[in-house]
């Protein structure tokens, strides 16, 4: 499924919902434009507006699905988890590099196992600034781990009773597909056209 660029600015889907709520007719299809593919990379609002009007009149704009408020909230929760995962990855890279700069390297494999955690806990540095910086890296990873676990629980709770709960359960049956990735597939990519209300 192709995810087109949705060009409505910071208002996002809220603007579309507001127009629908006020019973104002929206153009069908709604404006979604891949501006780089259609007319170059230069940003010019006046030219873009004129081109959008031309495409709308010619009915060449791709229609989009505006998700319900609850569905969009779940997307935001899933994306918050993805942000936490990125923070943890960055903190892990920093922590892994820190002993290397001191001439130390973990002798075993794989990294981030219980043995690796024990080895990290045993690392002591002569200079107090080094020790503090190292400790802060460790704490950043622990904080990200706690945040990810908390968001995982929230995602699972949010999907209880959700109309796509059965779809999430079906996707979990796929090999190596976790609950979180199943929720992400349904929540972020969206399957509205395939599953009726």
Cis previous bond, 29, omega within 30: yes
Distance of CA 106 to the CA centre of its chain: 32
Return d(Cα 47, Cα 40) in angstroms, integer. Answer: 11
pLDDT value at residue 21: 73
pLDDT value at residue 24: 59
pLDDT value at residue 149: 96
pLDDT value at residue 18: 76
- Closest by CA to 181, choosing from 143, 157, 155, is 155
pTM, rounded to two decimals? 0.70
Q: Are 195 and 164 in contact (CB under 8 A)?
A: yes
DSSP letter (8 states) at residue 107:
-
Q: State pLDDT tens for residues 134-146.
A: 999 999 999 999 9
pLDDT value at residue 57: 81
pLDDT value at residue 80: 93
Return d(Cα 6, Cα 19) in angstroms, integer. Answer: 16
Low-confidence ranges of the chain (pLDDT < 50): 1-5, 7-8, 28-36, 193-197
- Closest by CA to 168, choosing from 191, 189, 186, is 186
């Amino acid at each position: 499924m192709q995810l087109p660029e949705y060009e409505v600015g910071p208002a996002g889907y809220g603007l579309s919902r507001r127009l629908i709520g006020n019973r104002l007719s929206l153009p069908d299809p709604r404006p979604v434009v891949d501006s780089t593919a259609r007319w170059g990379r230069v940003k010019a609002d006046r030219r873009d507006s004129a081109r959008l009007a031309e495409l709308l009149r010619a009915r060449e704009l791709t229609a989009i699905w505006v998700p319900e408020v609850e569905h969009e909230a779940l997307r935001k929760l899933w994306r918050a988890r993805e942000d936490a995962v990125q923070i943890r990855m960055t903190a892990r890279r920093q922590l892994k590099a820190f002993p290397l700069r001191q001439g130390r390297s973990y002798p075993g494999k794989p990294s981030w196992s219980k043995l690796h955690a024990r080895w990290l806990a045993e690392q002591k540095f002569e200079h107090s600034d080094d020790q503090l910086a190292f400790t802060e890296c460790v704490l950043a990873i622990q904080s990200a781990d706690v945040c990810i676990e908390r968001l995982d629980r929230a995602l699972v709770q949010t999907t209880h009773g959700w109309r796509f709960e059965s779809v999430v359960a079906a996707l979990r049956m796929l090999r190596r597909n976790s609950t979180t990735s199943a929720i992400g597939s349904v929540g972020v990519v969206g399957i509205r056209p395939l599953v009726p209300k």
